[in-house]
A and B are shown apart, each in its own frame.
Chain A
């Protein structure tokens, strides 16, 4: 079946280094992708999104890359800070294979910042 997944459940990086969080998707009809950050005990927070007609989008300290050929999405965080510690998960919007609302969520990657 269709799914959105993450390559690693936990990612540990040194403070100040760049972080790269990956997401694989299998629905080639998906046209919209979103990254969320969720801190412990809080609701998910929108970080950045990208549509399928783009392959890169930049925000403040974050970049999302979309490779439609291999159905791969990544989130890059520059100069990682302690406040970046959270679970990050991707979501895709495709009209087939997702949940009833058309969105499919990954399970999440826990980003841990080492001092």
Chain B
């Protein structure tokens, strides 16, 4: 069963902490994405990657960075977490002309 997995379902961090969200896909997809989802705002793209070591800014990259050292793994990093980064974070992957396949999501709370 092909899938996208995320390291945590729920995470609680303090303001100023460095936070790592990990994502792994087993479909050999070239493209991987990080979104955040907030009530009333829908899905917003943070960063994406078309290949190993490649990264592109999405629509809301401020306060985030990413790392893609291996094809199957795409990490989202919050350098210094803030309360406005409390959200549901969704990782996704896709082949070049196929649908996005999403992970289960990580609900992050920053206190």
> Which A residues form the contact surface with B (CB < 8 A)?
32, 34, 36, 41-46, 49, 89, 91, 99-101, 103, 105-108
Contacts and interface: CB of A to CB of B under 8 A. Distances in A.
B56 A100 contact: yes
Contacts of A91: 100
A49 B95 CA distance: 14
Contacts of B44: 99
B100 A32 contact: no
Interface residues of B, number: 23
A106 B56 CA distance: 23
Contacts of A41: 105, 107
Interface of B: 4, 31, 33, 40, 42-45, 48, 56-59, 90, 97, 99-105, 107
User: What's the dominant secondary structure at chain B's contact region?
Assistant: strand
Nearest to A108: B42
A15 B44 CA distance: 33
B61 to A, nearest CB: 9
B104 A42 contact: yes
B49 to A, nearest CB: 10
20 contacts: A34-B99, A41-B105, A42-B104, A43-B4, A43-B102, A44-B43, A44-B102, A45-B102, A46-B99, A46-B100, A46-B101, A49-B99, A99-B45, A100-B48, A100-B58, A101-B31, A103-B45, A105-B43, A106-B42, A107-B40
A42 B105 contact: yes
Contacts of B99: 34, 46, 49
Nearest to B9: A41
Instruction: Output the residue of A34, A46, A100 with the most chain B CB within 10 A.
Output: A100
A43 B33 CA distance: 13
A105 B101 contact: no
A106 B42 CA distance: 7
Q: 8 shortest A-B CB distances, which residue pairs?
A: A43-B102, A43-B105, A105-B43, A44-B102, A43-B104, A99-B45, A34-B99, A100-B58
